[in-house]
Chains A and B, each alone.
Chain A
Amino acid sequence: MSEQLPDGAYAIGLALLPDVGPATLRSLLDADPPPVAWEKRAGATSEAQDAVARQWQRHCDLGISVLLRDDALYPDRLRNSLAPPAILFCRGDPRVLTGKPTVALIGTRAPTRYGIGVAAQLGADLSASGVSVVSGLALGIDGAAHEGACATGAPPIGVVAGGLHIAYPRRHSRLWDRVMEEGVIVSESPAGARTEKWRFPVRNGLLAALSDVVVVVESRHGGGSRHTVNAALANGIDIGAVPGSIRSATSEGTNAMLADGAFVVTGVTDILLALSRAGADIAIPSGEERRAVSTGPVPERERGLYEALSPDPASLDELARITGLEFAELCGGLERLARAGLARDVGGWWERV
């Protein structure tokens, strides 16, 4: 009977043992092939065999694939990292892990609207530039980054702490499904494993090791992002941070990272440059190309108003003062510019596109 089960099944059995963490699992599998390691640990009883068969069947039923270090699909990024996980669980397409350059977008679970907007924008821009966005599928920045990255280009990569049998946090179950369909979700935890606290730092380490560059969008002083950053530093992965207001608590962590030498992220180009420094084959758009995106010609009638707008949002009162237009004329002009894709309303403020 033992001949019928693949190595992965025994590795799952070992990973599910309550006293086996990632480091123990690695040393067990370094010493022996999985069936032997399992037999040494659990005995050669038929109950133990049945347990392995049952767990293997459960993973197959859930569509969870298992990667061990000698698998061809096991990503080189992990193989070359400080502590390559002995086992990797995937839902979705595991080839995504090795295909494209990867950038982690991470940050606080309680972001400001600024952080949400920047995370979604960077997610979309990176994905459209052919970069897979790696994130933890947590609430806040993680979720926003993947919301932006889905359906825009390169397949997304979700890295989670618990087993892949259930979406966590529940509020993100739709996002889980999308990431799984378009890309892949990975974890070091087998299905059915309890989500103990220690699994979160393990996840952060895996997330860092799967990324070519790590970018922190918003982080509080002493926030959880620093664990991922430390793991990335240990692996020699470049760190970027999005600057924020010195008065915003959610930017204290990121501003401190910038002071410590993280590179400044003001747009997708900064990240693409860091990727090319890290050796990724990536095309950096020139300034002209970036400006040339999808704006129609400015109608003659609205030229003065268009000149008064800037990428920095302005209130209607300000615009009325600058242009000297009657309020109705101003509103009509903005409406027509918005229709031409040249201006947009951001919560009562107007900016040039």
Chain B
Amino acid sequence: MIGDRRPSSHGVLFLDELGEFPVAALESLRQPLEEGVIRVSRAAGTAEFPASFLLVAAMNPCPCGEGVYKGACSCSVVMRARYRRRISAPFLDRFDLVVPVTRPTASELLDRVPAESSADVAARVAMARNRADSRGPQEPVLTKEATDTLSRKLAEGELSARGLGKVTRVARTIADLAEAEVVNDDHVSEALLLRAGRSVVVA
């Protein structure tokens, strides 16, 4: 497994069909995800391998794969539960963004507007990173409405302490992409929804 991850230090590790990986393999990703290193201890000593990477993964919501489509899933509850058990909640918690991908309709496929080009996206990302870098490490500034939304989610138990930090960071990035100085309620709501996408997998 180390061999699999080493080349992706400072790179992107993409795991397709996440639900098909052995549970032990996925759980062993938790340390590098948290600390950016893989530590191997043997009698002779401990070796530390750099393993800082961006983890991207894809999976079906259920065995039949129709779960993202309105009411089309034909899996039994038992089948769905068994499939989901392969991804533990703490592991899923490490993901900042979970995006349900729906199947495009026929009309979307046929007469769709040309998508934003990768070059344009890259330029937007570079701009947002610049903004973040020039601001330096400081606590994001939130509007009162945004703070209220977060404290309500905390009080309702829908957001954990770990989640709060992640949501705030994602909301700051969304605000940077929108060239906004202050994080507002819309930015926070988007970050919350991108996190709530997990419910498709764990519900």
Contacts and interface: CB of A to CB of B under 8 A. Distances in A.
A111 B77 contact: yes
Contact of B187 (A114, A328, A349): A328
A312 interface: yes
Contacts of A111: 76-77
A348 interface: yes
Contacts of B192: 331, 335
A328 B178 contact: yes
A347 B193 contact: no
B134 interface: no
A155 to B, nearest CB: 27
A300 B100 CA distance: 29
Contacts of A349: 70
B195 to A, nearest CB: 11
Interface residues of B, number: 31
Contacts, number: 78
B90 interface: no
A184 interface: no
Nearest to B187: A328
Contact of B71 (A114, A250, A315, A345): A114
A281 to B, nearest CB: 36
A249 B74 contact: yes
B178 A348 contact: no
- Contact residues of B: prevailing secondary structure: helix
Nearest to B200: A348
B192 to A, nearest CB: 7
Interface string A240-274: 00000101111000000000000000000000000
Contacts of B189: 328, 331-332, 334-336
Interface in B164-188: 174, 178, 184-188
Contact of B190 (A317, A318, A327): A327
Given A315-B100, A316-B193, A348-B197, A247 B74 contact: yes
B77 A110 contact: yes
A113 interface: yes
25 contacts: A110-B78, A111-B76, A112-B74, A112-B75, A113-B77, A113-B80, A114-B71, A245-B71, A247-B74, A316-B193, A328-B178, A328-B190, A331-B190, A331-B193, A332-B186, A332-B187, A332-B188, A332-B189, A332-B190, A333-B186, A335-B185, A335-B192, A347-B203, A348-B196, A348-B199
Interface of A: 110-114, 116, 140, 245, 247-250, 312-313, 315-318, 326-329, 331-336, 339, 345, 347-349
Give the 5 A-B CB pairs with smallest separation, nearest first: A332-B186, A331-B190, A335-B189, A348-B100, A328-B186
